[in-house]
Amino acid sequence: MAKYELNKNRKIESNDMEGQNLSDKKTYSTWENIKYIISHSWKYDKSIFGLFCIFTILTGVFPFIGILFPKYILDELTGSQDKNRLILLLVSFFFSSAVIGYFVTFIKNSYLPKMIDIRFQFIHMLSIKCMTTDYKNTEEPSFLNSVETAFRALQSNTNGLEGILHKLFSLGGNIIVLIGYMLIIGKLNIFILLYLIANVSLVYYFTFSVKKYEYNQADELSDIDRHSKYSYDLMYNFAYGKDMRIYSLTDWIGNLFQKFKKQRFDIEKKIKYKYFGVGVREVILLLIREGIVYAYLIYLVLNKGLSIGSFTMYFAAIASFASAMKVIMDDMAHIRAQSLYVSDFRVFMDRKEEKEPAHPRRLPEGPYEIEFKNVTFRYPGSEKYVYKDISFHIKPGQKLAIVGHNGAGKTTFVKLLCRMYEPESGEILLNGINIQEFSKRDYYTLFSAVFQEIKTLAFSVAENIAVSEGAIKEDKVLQCLDKADMKKKVLEQKNGIYTGMQKILDDEGVEFSGGETQRIILARALYKDAGIVILDEPTAALDAIAERSIYEKFNEMVEGKTSIFISHRLASTSFCDVIAMFEEGQLIEYGTHEELLAKNEKYAEMFQVQAQYYKEDEVAVTVDKVTGGQLQYD
C-alpha cells in the first residue's frame, strides 16, 4: 500500500504539471472539430442534415407565436374588440402553436436515434484503433490513459461528440430567435439591448472557465478511472475467487476501490462547487438585469403611453432574449468545452503507428526460413538491452527449441519474430526478405501461436478454436481437439463443442482447468494450420509427462513447418531438430539435444538438475494402478 501511495503521489504531481502546461498540449480549434464532426456525420447519415434545416426553421419561428399573438389579442381587447377578429387570432394562435409544436417534437425524436448511431460509428473507429494499434502501445500506461481520455468524448449522449451534435442541431433555430428578439428590443431601446448582451456575456465567461477547469482534470480522472475499473473487475471476476478467499484479498481490493472512488469524488466535488459559484453569480446578475429592465418598461407605460399589448410583447421579448442568449452562450461554452475532449479523441486517433511499407511485398511460399541478423533490441523507456547484436538462423521446416532461465529473452524473441515490436537495429529475415517489407496484416497470417498468457473468450469451445466470424468447420474442430487430447472431455459436456467457456455469458458454461484450457488453445493453433508454429510455454499447467506427450503429437502435426518451441522443461524439447539456449539476451549454446549434452556446459547442467523431476513425474503417472500392494509400471 505504501508503494502505491508513493506512485500515486508522483502521478498526481505529474498531472499537476500537465495542468500547468495545458496550452502546450496538442489540440484542435473548436471550428476544426466542428468541421470534423460534420464531415463524418455527413458520411454516416446525410438525412440528419435535412432534419436540421426543417428543425432550424420551425424552432426559429415557434417562440414568436407566443410573443406576437398575445400582443395583437390584447390590443384587440383594449381597442375595437372585434369578435370575429378575436376568434381568428385565437384560432390561428392555437393552431399554429399545435402544428409547429408537433413537428418540432416529432423531428427532435427522429434525430435522437440518428445521433446515437453516429456516436456509435465513432466508438467503432476508436475500437478498431485500439485493436489494431502497435502492440507495444498496449503495454504503456500512458497509452492506456489516453484510451480512457479519448473515450470521454464518446461515453455520453449529452457530452463530448454527441453533445456537440445536439447543441449544433438546436443552435441554428436559437440564433434566428435571438436575432428576432434583438430587432424587437433594439426598436425599444438600443442601450437596453447592449446591457442585456453584456450581462449574459459575463455568465458565459464564468461558465466556460468552470468547464475548462473540469477538462483540466480529465487526465487525472482517466488514471483514477483506469485503476478503479481494474479493482472493480477484480471484485467481480470469479477467476480470482480462490485467491480472494485464501489470501483474504476482499478487504484490500474493496478498500482500494473505495479509495479510487473517494479520489474521484473529491475532484468532482471541487468541480460542482465551482459550478455552484457560477450559479450564485448568475442569480445576482439576473436580479440586477430584471430590476433595471422591468423598471424601465413600467416607466414607459406610466409616462410614455406604452400600450398594454406592447408592454406584454416587450416584457416577453426581454425575458425570452435573456433566456435565449443565455442558452446560446451556454451552448457555445458547452461546445468549446466538449471540443477539448473531441481534440483528445482526434489526437488519439492521429497517434502515429509504425510505418507500413508503401508497396508491401507478397508473402513467399513455405516452408519458411528465418534469420535474426545482428538484432539489437530494448523495450521503450528502458536502458537495459534485451538483445545486443544477436544473430542466428532457423532453416526451412526446422523445429527449434528455445530454452533458458526467466529473463533470458525467450518471450522477447517471439514478440520480435511476430512483429509485436521492431528491432532497434539489425533485421529479421523471412526467406531472405526483411519482414518489415510485408504488411503486418498479411504477415500475421503466417503464424499459429500459443502464447505464454493463455487468453480464452467467453464463447463456445468451437468459437474459441475457430476464432472466425465465418462458418465453423465442426469436423476440423473435433480433429484438432482430438490431437490436443481434449475431444473426449469436450464431448462429455451437455453442449459438446458448443459448450461455453466461462460462465460470464452462458449459465451452462464450463470453467475448464488450466491444463484443459491450454489444450483447447493448442487446438486453436492447429485449426489455423499456418506455416510457422510458435509454442511459448503453452503447457506450463501440465505435468512433464503430459507436456511431453503433447509435444510428441505436435512433432507429427508440424511436419514440414518451421516450428519454434519455448519451454523451461528441457526434456520436452529433445524432439526438436535444434536447441538454442539463451542467457541474458545472448545465444550461448546452439545444437541438437545430444550435442548440447555432450558439450557438458550450461544446457547439460540445467538438464541434469531437472532430470530428477522428470523421473518423479513419470513414477507419479504410473502409480495409478495398484494390484496386491505392488506398483504396476506402464
Q: Which long-range contacts (CB under 8 A, 24 or more apart) does 62-65 make?
A: 62/97, 62/100, 62/101, 62/104, 62/173, 63/177, 63/180, 63/320, 63/324, 64/177, 64/180, 65/93, 65/96, 65/97, 65/100
Over residues 285-304, the mean pLDDT reads 78
State the pLDDT at residue 242: 59
Which of 13-17, 35-39, 296-300, 502-506 shows the lowest mean pLDDT across its residues?
A: 13-17
Nearest one of 399, 286, 402, 345 to 129, comparing CA atoms = 345
State the pLDDT at residue 622: 42
Higher pLDDT, 570 or 459: 459
CATH topology of domain 28-349: ABC transporter transmembrane region fold (1.20.1560)
State the pLDDT at residue 411: 84
Confidence of residue 2 (pLDDT cuts 50, 70, 90): very low
pLDDT per residue as tens digits for the range 181-237: 888 877 777 887 787 778 777 877 888 788 888 878 877 887 888 788 878 777 766
pLDDT per residue as tens digits for the range 535-579: 887 666 566 666 666 666 667 677 778 988 887 777 667 778 899
**pLDDT over 70 (residue 626):** no
For Cα atoms 316, 317, 321, give the angle at the middle one, nearest 5 degrees.
Answer: 120
CA atoms of 147 and 351, how far apart (whole Å): 11
State the pLDDT at residue 620: 43
Q: What are phi and psi of 402, to 5 degrees?
A: -115, 125
- What are the boundaries of each domain within the chain? 28-349, 455-529
State the pLDDT at residue 180: 83
Distances (CA, A) of 254 to 237, 241, 257, 259: 13, 14, 5, 9
**pLDDT over 80 (residue 488):** yes
pLDDT per residue as tens digits for the range 412-426: 888 899 998 899 999
Higher pLDDT, 282 or 33: 33
State the pLDDT at residue 528: 87
Higher pLDDT, 573 or 242: 573
Q: What's the whole-number average pLDDT of the chain? A: 80
**pLDDT over 90 (residue 298):** no
Confidence of residue 374 (pLDDT cuts 50, 70, 90): very high
* Among the four given CATH numbers 1.20.1560.10, 3.40.50.300, 3.30.1660.40, 2.80.10.50, the one describing domain 455-529: 3.40.50.300
State the pLDDT at residue 604: 87
CA atoms of 182 and 321, how far apart (whole Å): 7
Locate 392 and state its grid cell: 542466428
Distances (CA, A) of 597 to 143, 592, 594, 602, 608: 46, 9, 5, 9, 9
Rounded percentage of the chain residues whose pLDDT exceeds 70: 86
